[in-house]
Structure 1
Amino acid sequence: MFINDVVKRTGLTKKAIRFYEDKGLLSVQRQINGYRSYSEDNILTLKKIKMLRSCGVSVSDIKLLFGNMITIEELLIKRKKEVENAYENYSSMFEDILNVFQNYKKGQYDLDVQFNETTYNSFIPSDTLILGIDIGTTSISAVVIDIENKTNVETYTLDNAAGIKSSSPCFNEQNPRIIHDKVIKLAELIVTGYPGIKAIGVTGQMHGIVYIDEKGDAVSPLVTWQDKRADEMLENSCTYCEKIFEVTSKRIYTGFGFATHYYNLLNELVPSSAYSFCSIMDYVVMKLTNQYRPLIHVSVAASFGLFDTKTLSFDKESILKLGMDNIALPDVTDEFFIAGNYKKIPVSVAIGDNQASFIGAVENLHETVLVNIGTGSQISFMSDFCVTDDRLELRPLFKDKYILCGSALCGGASYALLESFFRSYIKASNSDNSLQYDILNKLAYDAYKQNKKPLAVNTLFSGKRSNPNIQGSILNITRENFTPGQLALGFITGICKELYDFMPINPEKKLIVASGNAVRKIPVMKQVIEDMFGLPVQISYNNEEASVGAALFSAIAANVVKNIYEASAFISYREDIK
């Protein structure tokens, strides 16, 4: 049948039908004369697409569903989270979505669903398509970017869902094979849909390790950065991390690769077949490129601890003192390096997610401070010098360049704590259980505009990495200032001050780039950051900064662009978007 018949049977416009075909959701046969010939299967597919799009499901998520990367049940859970995050009173809206999903699961696709497609970001063929993949703790994200045209072509997100129930509450482990399988399938889906991809970059959660054998296969779970085993006590009343410091005078924290390895070594948990170890993103790069030895970028190697940032090599003397020379150390590079090929596409070595986020969010690397406020919070800026102090962590970026980084454990979670406090009161008063963020944001904004001084809130509710026992506080309360607005503004100010306290006195920076969900969802936070730092603030346009940064890194490694400065021209801020 011809397209006019399809329009009548589906209620979709010609433009929408061709858009879905362009996006790879629909495969249409062509006649000898070149005209499209639609089948009954095409009609069924379009009805499914229309139902899902009417619920706000993204085109990329429909691709994942049709590609068997996600189930309809998982998609419903994902859509519910998206609605909860976007709307305060989401209950009635979600009921409508739930009804459509239930009919979809029953195979009832002929319902009269009202929907008009309005998103037409059709793909324009390009020679500068790059794929970036971010293997996070809770999700796996991927983005296809077009460097030449400065556009994000498509974004994909999957739940990691690889957690392992451990025997100890201190352990935090994931199944590396589940993660590997998901990334391989996702890469295949994307590369098939975009055959012109020129390079693939990978980033992900740092610090954690997985043991591998001589064939490059995983022989242990991935022990993540959230693991607490190295904070357990040894027999002589000190923790494993404290013992490492006692022996080497080097400070590393629980969740860091060598802290994990030290604990495992003393407790006979290192697999007998273990030859070496690497991060989860290094493991995935090995599997993508059919390698059996990991090559680790300095940005990842340094996250394991016991790494000399001056020589850009592992501190073998300290490793020997601790008796950890029983395993082969991975090779390390500080170059933009191609590890191998996946389906003839160059794949770069993996880089750390902090470094990738910096590359993927900042246009002027030398003059910009990156502030990221999500569940936690982090401040990062580039330095040409291998110097730091006790407040900041020095992280290699690439050859002769470093990132100075300060991290707060609580960050935006502090504000979530405040919202939960007010919501629990409302629920107890027999009112509804709706999220209260919009009200809190308005109260904080009004207090700011009226020049009301916020309460002094110390948001160290999760302690510090260097002192997990320190606690938060709310101070300077008077009868006049103890209002919900000034309390909310105090929390926002406290979150920002934690990061400001990491800044050197004269950093010689000219711009703040802010990213993360908290910055995007709390309008007054941008003004608070500007006032506190005394610098203009731009909001990062890319929600998936780490994936974008990995893509740009691989573009340099594959010679799609000449250098980091040419790659950074891809970056834009919200004010740049028309």
Structure 2
Amino acid sequence: MVGKAVAKNNSFHIAIDVGSTSIKGALLDLETRSFTTVRSVPFPTPRDRLPSTRVEIEPEDVVVAVSDLIRQLSGGGVGDGHVWICGQMGGVVLADSHGNALSPYYSWRDQRTVEVGPTGLTWMQMLREAWPENVWSRLGRELQPGSTSTLLYWLKQHEMLPSKAIPCSIADFVVARLAHQAPAMHVTYAIGLLDLHQVEIYHDALQCIGLGDVAWGKLVRGLEPIAQTQINETNYEFHGCFGDHQTALWGAGLERDELSINVSTGSQVSQRTSSFEPGPYQSRLFFGGDWLNTVTHLPAGRALNALLHLCTELNSADGADLSEAWKNIAEKMAAISATDVIADINFYASPLGTSGSFSNLTLENLTVGHLFLAACVAMAENYRVVANRLARKESFRSIVLSGGLAQSLPRLADFIRDRFAMPLREVNGEDTLLGLLKLAHHFSAPSSTCS
């Protein structure tokens, strides 16, 4: 997955991460291997008045937000621009061959596929039964309520999948829309769609679930530009779009003898390997010719945000400013040495459950500090359980902790250290932007290696 190395004078480089909570960007300095002028805008809010299981976003709103961010970051840039882009994984937008939207963005947070269908099973269960174990294994065992394949299956069953529609990620749609072309798909982004033995779209598996006639965009394996466009009379080339999970771990400098715990809106535990090694976990393509064994969709920021909204619901109705909420929560947690509250924060379908709870509550411990401390203890315990499933203990010698939420809640690192008797390396800063910086530097420096 390495593109041809090209060095251009009179050009500048921008990194864009189309995240679930925010869209972040930075101006890259390839000579000093650093980034400056970091900007962030909120990811557009979902449509109103939908059932609670639906999460749909207007894709054009995302295009506008990314375009504005590119304009902001391009001030003072000389020559042509290179945009390095990664984005949230899963979910789907349907587009035509000119980059126009044929559907809303069905988010990876959408839960419609866990509703019960006509057979008495959920839609996701019906899909899973259509795949023999060997087929599912070749797909990397990727199957979540908001997976691209799962949502496409639901759309097909409900006659909402136009015959010429091209499925794509939200970041790939943004690029296609700006360039007025059919969307492409990088192999790090095409999770649950590839035959990982061949690294090609797994048409036979898709045929099993009624998606055999779906049109797919060009599959991209390298770092070369995938699109060109002009914004405010400046020419841009787009590189990507890469999976934000892999990009974050690339930025964190994950090595093969390390176990990654990435904590953000979603959370994953991952191990880097030199080859495709199927097992009781998901498998994904990484950079540098390597792979990731991973367990994703572990409860983290999304679950804690639900708890935060509960704790602040009345104040929010009064228009209170909640911008300092996470800082206040961290302070309240720091003031408590331990808690006897027991938490299960699987408030949505995850690998560890479908419902959550708090127990052992008393008048003394029914506080924000105790509730969030218990939630962090539960997260750390989840990581220990998943690590045992993912890898033999002797196959990793240290922990890499990354992600914005891990930085916001320092006590979480303490609880993780308690459960893993080995060194823990914390990655501070914007790991996805750092990952994009590393990819851009490799592409522009012929002597560097993408490893």
Q: 1:292 to 1:422 in 2, by over 3 A?
A: closer
Q: Which residue of 2 aligns with 1:247?
A: 130
Name the amino acid aligned to 2:299.
C
Paired amino acid for 2:448: K
Superimposed CA distance per residue, residues 433-459 of structure 1 (whole angstroms, 9 cap, x where no aligned partner): 9988778656755665xxx6x547343
* Higher share of residues assigned strand: 2
Could you say which residue in structure 2 is the equivalent of 1:459? 344
Distance 2:180 2:127 in 1: 32
Name the counterpart of 1:152: 35
In structure 2, relative to structure 1, the CA distance for the partners of 1:471 and 1:298 (3 Å cut) is same
The Cα shift of 1:225 comes to 0.6
Deviation of the 1:498 alpha carbon: 0.9
Aligned mates of 2:329, 2:69 — CA distance in 1: 39
The residue aligned with 2:118 is 235
Deviation at 1:157, TM superposition (A): 0.9
| Higher RCO structure, 1 or 2 (CA under 8 Å, sep 6+) | 2
| Structure 2 counterpart of 1:372 | 262
Equivalent residue runs for 1:181-260 within 5 Å: 181-195=64-78, 199-249=82-132, 250=136, 252-260=143-151
Q: For 2:364 and 2:60, locate their aligned partners in 1 and report how far apart those are by CA, in whole Å.
A: 57
Structure 1 residues 335 and 515, CA, compared in 2 at 3 Å: closer, same or farther? same
Match of residue 400 from structure 1? 289
Does the 8 A contact of 2:347 with 2:356 survive in 1?
A: yes
The 3 A distance-change label for structure 1 pair 233 and 478 is: closer
Inter-CA distance 129–380: structure 2 relative to 1 (3 Å threshold): farther
Question: Who is 2:6 aligned against?
Answer: none
CA–CA distance in structure 2, aligned partners of residues 201 and 366 of structure 1: 25
Contact 2:18 2:87 (C-alpha < 8 Å) held by counterparts: yes
**2:207 alignment partner AA:** L
Contact conserved, 1:409 with 1:463, CA < 8 A, in 2?
no
Distance 1:327 1:470, change over 3 A: same
Superposed, which structure 2 residues align to 1:47-446 within 5 Å?
130-161=13-44, 163-165=46-48, 168-195=51-78, 199-249=82-132, 250=136, 252-271=143-162, 274-288=164-178, 290=179, 292-302=181-191, 305-342=192-229, 343-360=234-251, 362-390=252-280, 392-398=281-287, 400-412=289-301, 441=330, 445=334
Q: What one-letter code is carried by the residue in structure 2 that aligns with 1:237?
A: G
2:146 partner SS: coil
SS at match of 2:262: strand
User: For the structure 1 residues 276 and 461, does the alpha-carbon distance in structure 2 shift closer, same or farther, using more than 3 Å as the test?
Assistant: closer
Question: Which of 487, 496, 518 is 2:380 aligned to?
Answer: 496
For residues 480-491 of structure 1, the aligned pairs below 5 Å read 489-491=373-375
Q: Which amino acid aligns with 2:287?
A: F
Aligned-partner SS, 1:180: helix
Deviation at 1:168, TM superposition (A): 4.3
SS at 1:349 equivalent: strand
Following the alignment from structure 1 to structure 2, what is the Cα–Cα distance between the partners of residues 340 and 183?
A: 15
388, 412, 423: which one aligns with 1:536: 423
- More deviation, 199-208/157-166: 157-166
Aligned residues of 1:408 and 1:499 also touching (Cα < 8 A): no
AA at the equivalent of 1:350: C
2:98 and 2:176 in contact (8 A); partners too: no
- Please tell me whether the aligned partners of residues 412 and 495 of structure 1 are also in contact (alpha carbons under 8 angstroms): no
Q: Which has the larger radius of gyration?
A: 1
CA distance in 1, matches of 2:309, 2:227: 48
In the alignment, the residues of structure 2 paired with residue 227 and residue 282 of structure 1 have an alpha-carbon distance, to the nearest angstrom, of 19
3-state secondary structure, aligned to 2:190: helix
**TM-aligned CA distance change 1:172 to 1:479, over 3 Å:** closer
Contact 1:241 1:259 in 2 (8 A): yes
Q: 1:517 to 1:134 in 2, by over 3 A?
A: closer
Q: CA RMSD in A?
A: 3.7
Residue 144 of structure 1 aligns with an amino acid whose one-letter code is L
Alignment counterpart, residue 552 of structure 1, candidates 430, 433, 438: 438
* 2:356 partner SS: coil
- TM-superposed CA distance for 1:352, in Å, is 0.8
TM-fit CA distance, 1:202: 0.7
User: Take 1:128 and 1:370, find their aligned partners in 2: how far apart are those partners?
Assistant: 34
Quick check: 2:344–2:357 contact (8 Å CA) kept in 1? yes
Inter-partner Cα distance in structure 2 for 1:245 and 1:256: 12
State the one-letter code of the partner of 1:405: T
TM-score normalised by the chain length of structure 2:
0.80
Give the paired residue count.
Answer: 424
CA distance, structure 2, for counterparts of residue 415 and residue 368 of structure 1: 26
SS at match of 2:275: coil
Instruction: Decide whether the 8 Å contact of 1:198 with 1:560 is kept in 2.
Output: no
Cα shift at 1:373: 2.6
Q: Deviations over 1:2-40 (max 9, x none)?
A: xxxxxxxxxxxxxxxxxxxxxxxxxxxxxxxxxxxxxxx
Distance in 2 of aligned mates of 1:499 and 1:441: 20
> Does the CA-based 8 Å contact 2:25-2:38 persist in structure 1?
yes
C-alpha distance in structure 2 between counterparts of 1:438 and 1:277, whole Å = 39
Give, in whole Å, the separation in 2 of the partners of 1:262 and 1:484: 41
Offset at residue 160 of structure 1 (A) = 2.6
- 1:515-538: CA deviations, max 9, x gaps? 334432333333322232223333
Counterparts of 1:484 and 1:285, CA distance in 2: 42
Q: Of Structure 1 and Structure 2, which has the larger fraction of its residues in helix?
A: 1
Aligned residue identity for 1:562? S
Distance 2:198 2:33 in 1: 36
Question: CA separation in 2, counterparts of 1:190 and 1:419?
Answer: 32
1:262-320 deviation digits (Å, cap 9, x = unpaired): 11112111235x332211111222344x3623321111111xx2432222222211211
Deviation of 1:350 (Å)? 0.4
